[in-house]
Amino acid sequence: MNACEDILLTPLENLENMLSAAAPGRERDWADRLGVNLTRFIHALQRHVSERETTTGMFSKVDQTRPSLVRQVSTLRRDHDSFLVSARELREELRRALRSPRAIPDLGSIRSRLEELTTALRRHREEESGLVIESVTTDLGAGD
């Protein structure tokens, strides 16, 4: 596992743990902690994206002569953008819910969408790893 994955792994696990925890009677406290963890997750995701997409990052090591790999990198980059937009929107929605005058904010939709985001991000990380393995395997000639 490389440093980029470690940057995202702990905040992702923290979010997943919070999403799996019940919070009856403590919804506001849970939502406050979720907001903190979601902000940390967004910062980690920004670093992850930055480190993957720099000129010396993981994507720069992918064989650019293979159209299928180039397409996969393009898809993963679009995923990065989508994940960041979704996470920021969810954080703002959570903030609005916490400002609501309702005694207990409706967090079901936020929880559900965050679960979808974390699941998609897990799959995305697997695809990134598979891309690197495929590119390296081809470079070494093992794919022949």
For residues 47 and 137, the model is more confident at 47
Tell me how far apart the alpha carbons of residues 91 and 135 are, in angstroms, rounded to a whole number: 36
* pTM to 2 decimal places: 0.84
Four-residue CA torsion sign, 48, 83, 120, 62: negative
pLDDT tens, residue by residue, 47-99: 999 999 888 888 888 888 889 999 999 999 999 999 999 999 999 999 988 88
Tell me how far apart the alpha carbons of residues 27 and 7 are, in angstroms, rounded to a whole number: 28
Per domain, the residue ranges of the chain are 3-57+66-131
- What is the crossing angle of helices 27-53 and 3-20, to 10°? 160
DSSP 21: S
DSSP 60: G
Tell me how far apart the alpha carbons of residues 101 and 142 are, in angstroms, rounded to a whole number: 62
In the prediction, which pLDDT does 116 show?
97
